Structure 1
Amino acid sequence: MKGQEWYQADDVAEEYDAKRFSRGGQLIDDREKRAVLNALSPLKEKKILEIACGTGRFTVMLAERGADIVGLDISEAMLQQGREKAMEAGVDDHLEFMRGDAARLPFPDDYFDAVFAMRFFHLADTPASFLAEMSRVSASQVFFDTFNRYSTRSVYNWLLPMGSRLYSDEEVERLLTGANLHLENAEHDWVLPYGFYRKIPDGVARSFRQADTALGETPLGDYLASVSYWDARVA
């Protein structure tokens, strides 16, 4: 995985949410949470695995809404942040955080109703094997996001020290087929890259987001989108 040592550092975990989801980044957090809720609902007693759960912002949200959820991550520092979030939310008694490797999931076949991963595949060195493992342990649904190759993200990528893996629609479709999955639904969003929103105040970001969304709703929107959300089913 790209940036694995950086990601597991204690100071990175402590500042992760503040750096990415403050200021204009609040809009990113809101949109990602809405994408997850739309894809995975209804949640009551649904058995869910989150891959690369990080600080637990989705894990805790889903537990609050009645899901039976496990959050798995390679970083113990990130998991500790998630446990603290769960305690503050009062859901630490009905979710589980585990340290583990997404390439070798410690669960039997078809163990979960749904498996999802957000902010994961842009760092994946072997996306096919990761997606195959997600498909293996899911009885029904796999949900994930990608950053798109033919978008403003490709320009922003040049500025990143680690870079990101970018995907075309065709590559995602091949990955789904190889993992024995078929696409149920896809949504495409964010003409402007995430990094732009994180650099500006929330009020200014909202004005840009309105224009971004309006452009995204035109026929050009899907072609210009920098992020895609993929909702697939086990074939």
Structure 2
Amino acid sequence: MKGKEWYQADDVAQEYDAKRFSRGGRLIDRREKQAVLDAVGPVEDRDILEIACGTGRFTVMLAERGADIVGLDISEPMLTQGREKARQAGVGDHVEFMRGDAARLPFPDDYFDAVVSMRFFHLAPTPAKFMAEMARVSKNQVFFDTFNGRSTRVLYNRLLPMGSHLYTRGEVEELLDGAGLELADADHDFILPYGFYRKIPDSIALRIRKLDTAFGETSLGEKLCSVSYWDARVE
């Protein structure tokens, strides 16, 4: 099973974006970035923390829109990739990449306007602790995603080497309640799991995605969606 050692390897960091966000993975990247932008809204001059920032996909995107953002991750090689992205984008003055533990965030209470975490909770060993820390350092908003326990992801998850945790809505609401957060909005997407899209060319993925989205907008489709985006507020 893959774990922290795999995630922190140099070669994994160097190949991470190319393996996940090329081919049909490009539409996943676009959708995730749009979900973050829709949730956090205008970010200019806002202080934002991104947990598990990885190679800085979202960190740099938000900095380009004027946010002052800290990207935290456990992997120094991933952070190295993020710093290079920020340098190439010319936003180094708005970004700080920091190695750290999401269960013990090195920030005081109510320090950030918003906290964002993508592709994190499916691997979180102590989700309640992580959620409590995210809520603690946020003045207002916590935004994150999960993979769903009652979806097509269940079948795909059996083939994954990382043992992803899948969540029901009830489990998410329990996490939020325990951290003193109130759910403001939720959006559900992708009937077909991410891994399917990454295996096919972008042009084919786009056609299949249209069908996926159309079915996902039905009442049955929403229940089968493999990904959820959760927008919560500090009570």
Tell me the equivalent position of 2:45. Answer: 45
C-alpha distance in 2, partners of 1:221/1:174?
A: 24
The one-letter amino acid of 1:185's match is D
The one-letter amino acid of 1:65's match is R
State the 1:77 CA deviation. 0.1
Contact preservation (8 Å) 1:188, 1:221: no
Contact preservation (8 Å) 1:147, 1:165: yes
Correspondence 1:34-183 to 2 at 5 A: 34-183=34-183
State the 1:125 CA deviation. 0.8
Contact preservation (8 Å) 1:132, 1:179: yes
The CA deviation string for residues 144-186 of structure 1, in whole angstroms up to 9 with x for no partner, is 0000001111100111112200000000000000000000000
Tell me the equivalent position of 1:228. Answer: 228
Tell me the equivalent position of 2:211. Answer: 211
* Corresponding pairs, count: 234
The one-letter amino acid of 2:19's match is K
C-alpha distance in 2, partners of 1:41/1:96?
A: 21
Gaps of 5+ in 1: none
C-alpha distance in 1, partners of 2:186/2:221?
A: 13
State the 1:209 CA deviation. 0.2
- % identical equivalent positions: 75
The one-letter amino acid of 1:35's match is A
The one-letter amino acid of 1:10's match is D
The one-letter amino acid of 1:72's match is L
The one-letter amino acid of 2:220's match is L
C-alpha distance in 2, partners of 1:207/1:72?
A: 35
The CA deviation string for residues 8-60 of structure 1, in whole angstroms up to 9 with x for no partner, is 00000000000000000001000000000000111110110000000001000
The CA deviation string for residues 89-108 of structure 1, in whole angstroms up to 9 with x for no partner, is 00012210000000000000
C-alpha distance in 2, partners of 1:3/1:135?
A: 26
The one-letter amino acid of 1:164's match is S
The one-letter amino acid of 1:147's match is F
Tell me the equivalent position of 1:195. Answer: 195
Gaps of 5+ in 2: none
State the 1:221 CA deviation. 2.2
The CA deviation string for residues 189-218 of structure 1, in whole angstroms up to 9 with x for no partner, is 000000000000001101110000000111
Q: TM-score with structure 1 length normalisation? A: 0.99
Runs of 4 or more consecutive aligned structure 1 residues displaced over 3 Å after TM superposition: none
Tell me the equivalent position of 2:21. Answer: 21
C-alpha distance in 1, partners of 2:128/2:58?
A: 23
C-alpha distance in 1, partners of 2:155/2:36?
A: 27
C-alpha distance in 1, partners of 2:219/2:94?
A: 44
C-alpha distance in 1, partners of 2:77/2:122?
A: 21
What secondary structure, in the 3-state scheme, does the structure 2 residue paired with 1:188 have?
strand
